[in-house]
């Protein structure tokens, strides 16, 4: 794990490892790690995809204040899932919409929990 973290120089961390400002950031980190462990991509592919997402965002005007890092993380995950054909764009859009519904009803500071109704009829 330490070698993998070394490949991600912009990852917010302290001496103990990654740090997260909110639960969704930890969940995005966990998803990336789980998909890597399942062999969907190499850590080198992950680092390259994340770097490309950050570069594209900066080119589009992202001020890079550190508060958008995990948005880039999720965009990189979506990109790899799509590129590796592990999920379709329609599936990703459906999951994104379900997540947004769950997040809207969740009080600040509480874990976001997806429910069957979030996925629509």
pLDDT of residue 121: 76
Alpha-carbon distance 114 to 54, whole Å?
A: 28
Q: Which three-class secondary structure state does DSSP give residue 110?
A: coil
pLDDT of residue 80: 93
Q: Which three-class secondary structure state does DSSP give residue 19?
A: coil
pLDDT of residue 50: 92
Mean pLDDT of 73-83: 90
91 is written with which tokens? 């599936």
**Residues in CB range of 5: below 8 A, 6 or more apart:** 11, 13, 17, 18
pLDDT in tens, 18-38: 677 777 788 888 888 889 999
pLDDT of residue 9: 59
Cα–Cα distance list, 102 to 30, 108, 120 (Å): 19, 12, 12
């Amino acid at each position: 794990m330490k070698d993998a973290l070394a490949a991600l120089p912009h990852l917010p961390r302290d001496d103990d490892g990654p740090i997260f400002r909110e639960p969704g950031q930890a969940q995005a980190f966990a998803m990336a790690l789980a998909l890597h462990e399942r062999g969907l991509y190499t850590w080198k592919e992950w680092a390259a995809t994340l770097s490309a997402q950050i570069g594209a965002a900066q080119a589009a005007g992202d001020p890079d204040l550190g508060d958008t890092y995990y948005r880039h993380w999720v965009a990189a995950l979506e990109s790899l899932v799509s590129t590796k054909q592990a999920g379709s764009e329609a599936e990703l859009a459906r999951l994104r919409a379900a997540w947004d519904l769950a997040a809207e009803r969740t009080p600040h500071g509480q874990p976001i929990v997806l429910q069957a109704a979030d996925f629509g009829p």
